[in-house]
Amino acid sequence: MPSAIDSALGTAQLVAAFSGVPVASGVVMLLQSINNTCSQVAVHKAKSAQLAQRCTTLLNMINEHSTAFVGTDIIKNLDELEAVLSSVHQRVQRWTRCGKVERFMKNWKIERDLDKCHADVNVAVECLQLTSPMNIIKMQQQSIDLMRRHQTVMEEGLQQLLITPRDVEHAAQQHEQGGSAARELMKFGQEHLVQIRGKQSVAASSPNFFGEYLFESRESSCPPSPVTTVQNQLEQALLDLHRLTKIPPTIPILNNQVQRANSLPTSWGRHSAVFEGSWLGGKKVALKTLRVVDERDPRSKTLQARFEHEITVWSKLKHENVLTLYGIVTNMGPIHIVSPWQGNDTVLTYRRNNPHVNPLELLRQAAKGLEYLHDNQIVHGHIQCNNLLVSSEGVVTVCDFGLTQVLVDVVGRGTLDMLTTTSAIRWFAPELSNGEEAELTKHTDVFAFGMSILELLTLKPPYSHRKRDVIVMQDLQEGRLPLRPEEPEAIPWMTDGLWATLHGRCWAIQSENRLTIAELSLHLEEVSASLSK
């Protein structure tokens, strides 16, 4: 960081200039040292630059008024000023010696110390009684000039971040030919949105010499800043790229890219609530929040770390019958899982609203999605009709895969059951009644999927003849399975062959005797085709 001392005096020259004022030479040395040390602080660069500029301004002022100090009361204040600056110097110097880990752990303390240093240097100005109107105007102008120089550099850098319509069109054309340009452009845009928001944060937290904020506020009626203009252009370019290619976000941590549309959820799940939201202000998305662990709970950090790991795997899954996951948001209170908005809600709602639809075709699509998950060694863990969604195009997608296993691993099965508001026992395989030792497997998924077939055909939960879950649990432990449905909604679709498959192969008490989901998917396809003739 170059020194900006107007008189261009080096340290030795400055000390010599104050040879008639011995105490002032110590002040000058400290100011020069603080100025140089600021450039070595590896974090909060903008705040360090501001501190260095303040020291430079004070140094210039002392130089200009040096002859006026002799024989005045200001000399008496120099001892106090030297003590203040010595403390500032020690604090700044301490942070230059920090290693990377210590800087990360004490990031907030470094920021707080730099703010305190800013305030102390302001006090130094007051100590010298140099705050005449003319000096105030001069210092404000120097600060404004510095900010303008920073703004010019920033604007030049921002121009390199723009994504032009031609860039988007070229990437989309390559995508159609199987190229990777669209994904790379999506990643480029997301990375630079993060950078731009960092620049906004610096601009919003960069006061002038007297702590006054010079940049526009959100409520400002002034034209948008270059940062905001480039941000808006980037967001629109990424939305255009998404519409042309259907490529989801490449970076799955979507902090500051997603907003809720309202404060009330559109639906509730066993351990979650779903809100309507938007990605980049233009793509309608679903935001699923987890209600199991409060954000103040110490386990929330473990849960966040686990989700940040899992989302990198889940977001790479690509199948028409598996809900695409855009990513997660970790800075809006509880964790938000972000996915495309599904226009027709669950398969249950869709069938009720479309009574002539073939429910076996909906189930066949869902089975294909679960088959893909199993092929990728992912156990769903919570299959039921509430987790089978229908898009506005009528395509069924499996959602919430792997979610239950993550929650079980973090909080334990017993705690999870206590913290959730609804029971899933009616879809549980018998082996899941073993408490904490129970293990979610592909076999338990097949059992639950069989119960989901019964649920969609009857439009009622499994064991609908039982009002209490505790009786259902006794039935499971004693090997009593659901009764063959007699509901008029189910009879046309529940063939003898399908009932035999459910009763004997999906709900087999011994898990190893159950069908695979691939076998069940094939059977559903055959039954559906035979009934459609």
Report pLDDT for 129.
Answer: 53
DSSP-derived secondary structure letter, 207: B
> Which segments of 420-460 does DSSP mark as H helices, in order?
442-458
pLDDT digits (tens, 9 = 90+) for 306-328: 877 788 888 889 999 999 989 88
| Rounded average pLDDT over 520-530 | 94
Q: What percent of the chain has pLDDT over 90?
A: 32
Q: What percent of the chain has pLDDT over 70?
A: 72
| Rounded average pLDDT over 107-123 | 81
- Residue 416: pLDDT over 90: no
Residue 65, CB-side half-sphere exposure with 13 Å CA sphere: 20
Task: Tell me what the pLDDT averaged over the chain comes to.
Answer: 79
Same fold, 258-340 and 345-532: no
Q: What angle do CA 54, 59, 60 make, to 5 degrees?
A: 100
| Rounded average pLDDT over 225-248 | 86
Q: At what angle do helices 133-159 and 226-245 cross, to 10 degrees?
A: 20
**Range scoring the smallest mean pLDDT among 371-385, 441-455, 466-480:** 466-480
| Rounded average pLDDT over 256-270 | 84
**Range scoring the smallest mean pLDDT among 16-25, 82-91, 359-368, 376-385:** 16-25
Calculate Rg over the CA atoms of the chain: 33
Relative to beta strand 267-268, strand 272-279 is: antiparallel
Question: Can you read off the two tokens belonging to residue 296?
Answer: 């103040």
Report pLDDT for 370.
Answer: 97
Report pLDDT for 104.
Answer: 64
Question: So where are the chain's domains?
Answer: 7-131, 163-199+226-251, 258-340, 345-532
- Residue 208: pLDDT over 50: no
Report pLDDT for 378.
Answer: 92
Position with higher pLDDT, 375 vs 476: 375
Position with higher pLDDT, 206 vs 80: 80
Which range of 56-70, 149-163, 195-209 scores highest in mean pLDDT? It is 56-70
Report pLDDT for 66.
Answer: 58
Return all residues near 245 (Cβ < 8 A) that are at least 6 apart. 171, 172, 175, 182
Report pLDDT for 336.
Answer: 87
Contact between residue 34 and residue 92 where contact means Cβ atoms under 8 Å apart: yes
Q: Which helix (DSSP H) or strand (DSSP E) does residue 469 occupy?
A: helix 469-477
pTM of this prediction exceeds 0.85: no
**What distance in Å separates the CA atoms of residue 206 and residue 215, rounded to the nearest whole number?**
8
Token pair 């598996």: residue: 322
| Rounded average pLDDT over 68-84 | 64
Contact between residue 276 and residue 260 where contact means Cβ atoms under 8 Å apart: yes
Which range of 23-27, 231-235, 310-314 scores highest in mean pLDDT? It is 231-235
Contact between residue 310 and residue 234 where contact means Cβ atoms under 8 Å apart: no
- Residue 291: pLDDT over 70: no
Question: Can you read off the two tokens belonging to residue 397?
Answer: 């997608």
Token pair 């200001």: residue: 74
Contact between residue 315 and residue 328 where contact means Cβ atoms under 8 Å apart: no
Residue 109, CB-side half-sphere exposure with 13 Å CA sphere: 10
**What distance in Å separates the CA atoms of residue 118 and residue 462, rounded to the nearest whole number?**
67
**What distance in Å separates the CA atoms of residue 320 and residue 304, rounded to the nearest whole number?**
27
- Residue 7: pLDDT over 50: no
Report pLDDT for 287.
Answer: 92
**Local confidence band at 151 (pLDDT 50, 70, 90 cut-offs):** low
Position with higher pLDDT, 135 vs 467: 467
**What distance in Å separates the CA atoms of residue 502 and residue 482, rounded to the nearest whole number?**
10
Report pLDDT for 50.
Answer: 80
| Rounded average pLDDT over 11-19 | 44
Burial class for 106, CB neighbours closer than 10 Å (0-12, 13-18, 19+): middle
**What distance in Å separates the CA atoms of residue 445 and residue 34, rounded to the nearest whole number?**
65
Report pLDDT for 495.
Answer: 95
| Rounded average pLDDT over 28-41 | 82
Judged by DSSP in three states, 58 sits in: helix
Report pLDDT for 108.
Answer: 75
Report pLDDT for 388.
Answer: 96
**Local confidence band at 411 (pLDDT 50, 70, 90 cut-offs):** low
Q: How far is residue 119 CA from its own chain's centroid?
A: 34
Question: Can you read off the two tokens belonging to residue 216?
Answer: 């526009």
Report pLDDT for 47.
Answer: 79
Report pLDDT for 342.
Answer: 87
CA separation, residue 497 to residues 366, 385, 493, 529 (Å): 20, 22, 10, 13
Contact between residue 274 and residue 266 where contact means Cβ atoms under 8 Å apart: yes
CATH superfamily, domain 345-532, is Transferase(Phosphotransferase) domain 1 (1.10.510.10)
**Range scoring the smallest mean pLDDT among 48-52, 155-159, 256-260:** 155-159
Closest CA to 135 of 67, 77, 78, 57: 57
Contact between residue 322 and residue 396 where contact means Cβ atoms under 8 Å apart: no
- Residue 199: pLDDT over 60: no
Report pLDDT for 363.
Answer: 97
| Rounded average pLDDT over 129-143 | 53
Tell me what percent of the chain is helix, strand and coil, each rounded to the nearest 5.
60, 10, 35
Position with higher pLDDT, 146 vs 5: 146
Kindly report the three-state secondary structure assignment for every residue of 90-141: HHHHHHHCCCHHHHHHCHHHHHHHHHHHHHHHHHHHHHCCCCCHHHHHHHHH
**What distance in Å separates the CA atoms of residue 136 and residue 40, rounded to the nearest whole number?**
29
CATH superfamily, domain 258-340, is Phosphorylase Kinase; domain 1 (3.30.200.20)
pLDDT digits (tens, 9 = 90+) for 209-229: 333 333 344 444 556 677 788
